[in-house]
Amino acid sequence: MTKLELRHQVGQLLIMGFDGIEMSSKLRTQITTLQPGGVILFRRNIEQAQQTYALVRECRRLMQTPSYLCVDLEGGTVDRLRDVVAPAPAMADVVATRQKKLVRKHGRILAEECRTFGFNVDFAPTLDLALEASRSVLTTRTISRDPKQTVMYARELLKGLKDGGVIGCGKHFPGLGEANLDTHHSLPSIKKTWGKLWKEDLAPYRDMRKELPFVMVAHAAFPDITKDDTPASVSKKWITDILKKRIGYKGLIISDDLEMGGVQSAMPIEEASVETIRAGADIYLICHNEEFIWRSYEKILTTAEKDKKFARLVTDASNRILAMKKKQRKILAATSKAPTAKSLDKLRRKIWEFTEEIRLSADAVRQG
């Protein structure tokens, strides 16, 4: 695993999404050729329980190294499995109970959902602060406007995910709490001083730097810090100088989806894929477009072949990924049986009962 040739090192740096609900010949060729470090599924890929399980299993089979099998599963508005299982509560609703044990239980239930279909990575929790500027964008995905509260409950969710054999991810560094634009479509420019960012938005990453397996970097500009409109996801200042050196984070760093408008407005996707690695990210995420995936992969490969300094960055990132996968080998090697009508009904009941427990507990808090 530690002596991959360059083209497979480049593959390790990619987590890719795709169209369709089954393994097509084109997708099989793409995964077999690129050998990505992982895949991510969305609601467009998830139609039925057995179909989803089979698709994840086939993706895993085609990858020669242990694979990150990823999904966005927060509950509430971000819940890719709601249609094949049941809607899970939003993080804000769970936190409204003010009970750490229920947040941890939330994590365990999300992990059980993931594992039912073969996923081993859940891109949660959201560490963005619940500030007024982003309320219409982030809605119920955030934990609190208070960094200490955010850390306390995020820790419990991560523990719950880990209890269930699933790897979590803190997002969206440096923080989208002050972003009034959706990074899926636009590049927010957040004008906030270094002192306030360090005390507020960066506090979860500082306090949890040894606990987060992944940190996902946002497509947002912070002109007071970088002196320009460079998205954090392609900024060496943010990724290497601040996240790695100043904060001391040693886990894996992943860009948010490079197809999103927040970074596409700044540069073409091929350039973004190179620049996020050059900035210090280990993994770049491209969630949909087949052509974008091929073009970005080829751009990173040809750049590494021509530029020895960049090639070292690729090799170092690949080695970090493989070393982390070795530490996580039990989670990545774990498999589950195909879901049945009986096992799905049991899981649905668990989610429904948990949702009712959350409602009653939150009502009790509101009533004093």
Q: Which residues of 109-120 are buried (b: 16+ CB within 10 A; e: fewer)?
A: bbbbbbbbbbbb
Q: Phi-psi bin for 69: left (phi > 0), alpha (psi -120 to 50), beta?
A: beta
Q: Is 342 exposed, middle or buried (0-12, 13-18, 19+ CB in 10 A)?
A: exposed
| Known active-site residue 184 | yes
Domain ranges of the chain: 11-338
| Known active-site residue 256 | yes
Q: Which whole-number Å values give the CA distances from 347 to 94, 114, 262, 344, 356, in the listed order?
A: 18, 11, 37, 5, 14
Cis amide prior to 87 (ω within 30 degrees): no
Q: Judge contact between 73 and 80, C-beta under 8 A.
A: yes
Secondary structure (3-state) at 99: coil
Q: What angle do CA 164, 169, 172 make, to 5 degrees?
A: 150
Those residues whose C-beta lies under 8 Å from the C-beta of residue 78, and which sit 6 or more positions away, are 72, 124, 141
Phi, psi at 100, each rounded to 5°: -60, -35
Closest to 293 in 3D by CA, of 15, 73, 47: 15
pLDDT of residue 3: 60
Q: Judge contact between 233 and 217, C-beta under 8 A.
A: yes
Closest to 299 in 3D by CA, of 289, 288, 309, 310: 310
The ranges of the chain with pLDDT < 70 are 1-3
Of the candidates 72, 122, 256, 282, the residue annotated as catalytic is 256
* Rounded-to-integer distance, Cα 325 and Cα 332, Å: 7
Q: Which tokens in the block code for residue 186?
A: 């636009």
Runs of H (alpha helix) within the chain: 6-12, 25-34, 49-62, 91-95, 100-117, 135-138, 147-163, 194-199, 203-207, 223-226, 236, 261-264, 269-279, 290-306, 308-327, 329-333, 341-366
Those residues whose C-beta lies under 8 Å from the C-beta of residue 289, and which sit 6 or more positions away, are 259
Strand duo 214-217 + 169-173: pairing: parallel
pLDDT of residue 1: 44
Those residues whose C-beta lies under 8 Å from the C-beta of residue 360, and which sit 6 or more positions away, are none
Q: Global pTM?
A: 0.96
pLDDT in tens, 123-159: 999 999 999 999 999 999 999 999 999 999 999 999 9
Of the candidates 83, 184, 228, 363, the residue annotated as catalytic is 184
Secondary structure (3-state) at 254: strand
Phi, psi at 221, each rounded to 5°: -95, 145
Put the strands of the sheet holding 169-173 in their side by side order. 169-173, 214-217, 252-255
Q: Which CATH number fits domain 11-338: 3.20.20.300, 3.40.50.720, 3.20.20.10, 3.30.2350.10?
A: 3.20.20.300
